[in-house]
Chains A and B, each alone.
Chain A
Amino acid sequence: AQSVTQLDSQVPVFEEAPVELRCNYSSSVSVYLFWYVQYPNQGLQLLLKYLSGSTLVKGINGFEAEFNKSQTSFHLRKPSVHISDTAEYFCAVSGRGLTDKLIFGTGTRLQVFP
């Protein structure tokens, strides 16, 4: 079974500053990893995914994440945030078996201030 931990429930940051949202996972098998964004009163939107290959994954809206197998992490980064990036961010993990389901973290609230 897999589990995922998002250590920061809230991350405040000023506009144009860099940001990192942390995600750590636990699994006894190889995994797929995902980041989602949720704007207020909306569903979740896929930001990026790691399935295989390059450990640096680029997604939409200028976000990227790096898969670190030795540290079992998949942190999300953006070099310069905008007010519009204010949202809830969810990390998710799944095993690679065909019956494995996505397991979501508890989310990190990114608040960007002017």
Chain B
Amino acid sequence: SQTIHQWPATLVQPVGSPLSLECTVEGTSNPNLYWYRQAAGRGLQLLFYSVGIGQISSEVPQNLSASRPQDRQFILSSKKLLLSDSGFYLCAWNSLSNQPQHFGDGTRLSIL
């Protein structure tokens, strides 16, 4: 069966520090991969999605970037975190873009 892993589960970082969040999927090949951010009490904001290795589409211009170095690995990064980067970050995958997405357990990021 397919599984999705996100880590770390929680992270506290100072303003101006770098960020790297990792997401991996097991049990499938060539998945579509997504990064979402969920601010407190808000809905889901799609940040990036990828349909293949090295193929990244950005939905919202911001302080973050994404990379897909391997087929089932999706990384969210920042060189310098801002206070506004705080939130709950979710990774998701599906086999076809119009089909249900399957979500990881999320990373709670707090910026101090």
Q: Does B bind A? A: yes
Residues of A within 8 A of B (CB): 32, 34, 36, 41-46, 49, 90, 94-102, 104-107
Residue B96 interfacial (CB < 8 Å): yes
B43→A41 contact, CB < 8 A: no
Q: Is B44 an interface residue, CB under 8 A from the partner?
A: yes
B103 & A43 in contact (Cβ 8 Å cutoff): yes
Number of A-B contacts (CB under 8 A): 55
Q: For B6, B96, B99, which residue has the most chain A Cβ atoms within 10 angstroms?
A: B99
Q: Which residues of B contact A106 (CB under 8 A)?
A: 42-43
Contacting A at CB under 8 A, from B73-91, are 88, 90
Query: What is the interface of chain B, defined by CB distance below 8 A to chain A?
Result: 6, 42-44, 46, 49, 88, 90, 92, 96-106, 108
In the bound complex, CA of A43 to CA of B88 (Å): 9
Given A94-B98, A100-B98, A101-B49: A107 and B105 within 8 A (CB)?
A: no
B59 CB to closest chain A CB, in angstroms? 9
- Point out the residue from A46, A90, A102, A104 that lies within 8 Å of B98, measured CB to CB: A102
Q: Can you list 10 A-B pairs, Cβ within 8 angstroms, ordered by A? A: A32-B99, A41-B106, A44-B90, A46-B102, A94-B97, A98-B96, A100-B98, A102-B97, A102-B100, A105-B43
| CA–CA, A102 and B103, complex, Å | 13
B105: chain A residues at CB < 8 Å are 42-43
Let me know if A34 and B100 touch, CB within 8 A: yes
Complex contacts, A104 vs chain B, CB 8 Å = 43-44
A107 touches B43 (CB 8 A): yes
Q: Which of B43, B96, B104 has the most CB of A within 10 A?
A: B43
CA distance A46 to B106 in the complex (A): 15
In the bound complex, do residue B97 and residue A98 qualify as a contact, i.e. CB atoms below 8 Å apart?
yes
